[in-house]
């Protein structure tokens, strides 16, 4: 797992017993995981007793390094071996590595569910209805003689139970252009999946 150097440096601080004493590390670790999972616990690090006597900015930096590592590990679905290797590189003692791995395994599923709900996902088209209208004339012209396609896309939006509708109208040329662009997109996806 690749992390920026600043995150690795902060993670090294979290593994150092000078900055986070051994007696406080389990609580520090639990607070970091709770801060990721529950938004109401994001600043709970300030309430951990015993850490306030230490350099406050160093403790916050160590906390941010641990939180960044936890999020990235859950995002990339890292196993305990690769996480253990990363923590060894950051000079974590074996007992702290074991503690981190135990808490990570316990909270990994919850972290991944939370990460899966973050961000925006485009709507997924599940159905199409269309209708062809032919205009012979309108209010402004005596003769129009034009075909107009009315398209209704039914889309599934993540997080919503009901289907959403996207409606638009287009001429025959515009519809042919849309179909051509969709075919091009399908060909690009096929090429990407084959390579």
List pLDDT tens digits, range 138-161: 777 777 788 899 999 999 887 788
* Total number of domains constituting the chain: 2
pTM of the predicted model, to two decimals?
Answer: 0.60
Q: Is 52 helix (H, G, I), strand (E, B) or coil?
A: coil
Are 110 and 150 found together in one domain? no
d(CA 46, CA 62): 13
Are 55 and 78 found together in one domain? yes
Are 85 and 129 found together in one domain? no
Mean pLDDT of 73-84: 91
Highest mean predicted confidence (pLDDT) among 10-14, 46-50, 137-141, 143-147: 10-14
Read off φ and ψ for residue 167, nearest 5 degrees: -115, 140
Read off φ and ψ for residue 134, nearest 5 degrees: -120, 115
At residue 132, the pLDDT reads 93
Decide which of 96, 116, 136 is a domain's last residue. Answer: 116
Work out the pLDDT band at 51, boundaries 50, 70, 90. low
The domain of 147 spans 124-194
Are 89 and 128 found together in one domain? no
Looking at the predicted structure, is the pLDDT value of residue 20 above 60?
yes
Are 78 and 168 found together in one domain? no
Looking at the predicted structure, is the pLDDT value of residue 131 above 90?
yes
Are 108 and 56 found together in one domain? yes
């Amino acid at each position: 797992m690749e992390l920026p150097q600043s995150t690795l440096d902060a993670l090294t601080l979290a593994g150092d017993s000078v900055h986070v004493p051994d007696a406080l590390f389990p609580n520090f670790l639990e607070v970091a995981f709770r801060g990721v999972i529950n938004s109401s616990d994001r600043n709970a690090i300030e309430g951990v007793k015993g850490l306030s006597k230490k350099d406050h900015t160093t403790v916050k930096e160590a906390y941010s390094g641990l939180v960044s590592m936890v999020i990235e590990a859950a995002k990339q679905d890292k196993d305990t071996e690769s996480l253990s290797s990363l923590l060894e590189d950051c000079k974590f003692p074996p007992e702290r590595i074991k503690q981190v791995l135990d808490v990570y395994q316990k909270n990994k599923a919850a972290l991944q569910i939370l990460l899966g709900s973050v961000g925006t996902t485009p709507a997924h088209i599940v159905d199409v209805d269309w209708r062809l209208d032919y205009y012979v004339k309108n209010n402004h012209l005596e003769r129009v003689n034009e075909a107009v396609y009315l398209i209704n896309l039914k889309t599934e939006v993540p997080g919503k139970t009901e289907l959403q509708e996207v409606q638009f109208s287009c001429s025959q040329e515009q519809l042919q252009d849309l179909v051509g662009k969709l075919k091009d997109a399908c060909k690009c996806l096929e090429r990407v999946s084959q390579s």
